Structure formats: structure tokens, C-alpha cells
Amino acid sequence: MTVRLTSSTEGGRTIIRVEGRLTVEDTSVLEAECRSGGFSPQLDLSGLLSADKAGIELLRTLQAKGAELYGASDYIRRLLKEETP
């Protein structure tokens, strides 16, 4: 596993801190963590160093489903905004 996930609850909302490298091998783990924390978790991406195509697609999907993404580096924000072919 190349990513570290840490969950906490603040004000009744689940916060998931994502650290390291989010790769295709880790997407199911993050997806399961989001489901177990209820709907619309907050994803703290301040520790996310990189993400492959599958990782970025999952983050986009989670955001579309109501997850709040914050703390992402300029690099990660740029990847999230890029159009996929």
C-alpha cells in the first residue's frame, strides 16, 4: 500500500486524511473508507504527494458524490482539473 488513510470525526462529519501516493491499488481502500464514514466525507489532501489516473478519477467521483476535497497541492489541483481523454 502506498497511501496512508487516517479517519477522524469532527462536528459529526468524517474527515479522512490522505497521505502518500494514491494509486490504482489503493482506490478500493479509500472508497471503502469513505463509505464506512457515511456520506459526504471531507478529504484532507494536504499530505497527498501524487496520484495516478485511477486515483484522480476516484477523487473526482467522490467529489461529484458530495465529498469535500481540501488542502490539495497545486500539482494535485491541476490533475483534478485536467480533462481526461
pLDDT of residue 53: 95
> 40: left (phi > 0), else alpha (psi -120 to 50), else beta?
left
Task: List the CATH code of the domain at 3-81.
Answer: 3.30.750.24
pTM: 0.90
CA distances in angstroms from 17 to 11, 21, 24, 84, listed in the order given? 16, 12, 18, 25
**What are the residue ranges spanned by the domains of the chain?**
3-81
Digit-coded pLDDT (tens) for 20-59: 999 999 999 999 998 886 667 999 999 999 999 999 999 9
